[in-house]
Structure 1
């Protein structure tokens, strides 16, 4: 056991490194966030575009920088540690522009908001923490359960999956709704709106079809008693 644990840890580190390269060098992304939100980069970009962009409330900018960094780390862990699957270049071509759009919109809109960090923003921070926990814990618990030999090839319906077939998607909706509240700009509502539409009309139908093909009657029984996304609502 002692010999296997270091090897397993090294494999995990390698996966995270590949993930960072795959998604566009994570270190540069974090540095870019710090430059834009904390070191005056927004003003520089505004000058380059011929616009007068002033830095907004400092607490709001710091909160956005931390939250967006947490999201990026969580994305890497979910994709390459919990799900443990390869990512094709076609998928990268879809994910990277979307993540870049999210970052730029939240940074430029929220980072220039001079309104004091108040109750609404604090509620947004709480929502972000809750949504991030929901997404990561759901994936972690399923990953631990799937690693047990007796559970190989079985459908996971425990934990948060008892209440929603896709608690990870719900967690993303909650966390990004929180980010919108922290930014304090209505324009950012487009992010969870696009996410919700994508989940309802694309991701959930495709994944449910795959699960039906893979697990058959076990999934049909599970789907009959469990909400797709929002418990007791949808």
Structure 2
């Protein structure tokens, strides 16, 4: 019994059972509040940035298809040879089309090789390739394209008879369709595919072979 009474209690055990002081509790609560406020501020900032990006993507940086404007269409080469008795025809004509491609986007437009198709009485009789390139934001690029139409182009579509009639009638009507595909990069990382298009109606006078009328729409 005496031995049991002589056992002394360890002071450290008392320290472990002592609850935190009010000052320590207050500091812990303040740290938690500061952490919560910091988390809320970060979340609000991320949400705000996301909203701004979405608004810009659908307004300022909204994708717009480039437009093609035909500035001039000229005849750069003509060699007609018509034999009425035998109804034979040897004919070729070179059209030079000067167009401007305008990029309305707030990002550069990198376009791939495009095409300009030539139609006569709704039949595709020829085309020309437009070389690839890059148009700066809200900038424009002049595009020159030439296409040579021969009698074979008309003969393969059984259009020779109509061509002779139009030559004798004093004018030939053509339609052109231009298509230039490409892409723009919005906000530096969003890549969007777009296409520049244009449709033109051309009337060439005979025998001067000058363009009498041209109407284009994008």
Task: Pick the TM interval, shorter chain.
Answer: under 0.3
Higher relative contact order (CA 8 A, sep 6+): 1
Highest CA radius of gyration, 1 or 2?
Answer: 2
Task: Looking at secondary structure, tell me which structure has more helix per residue.
Answer: 1
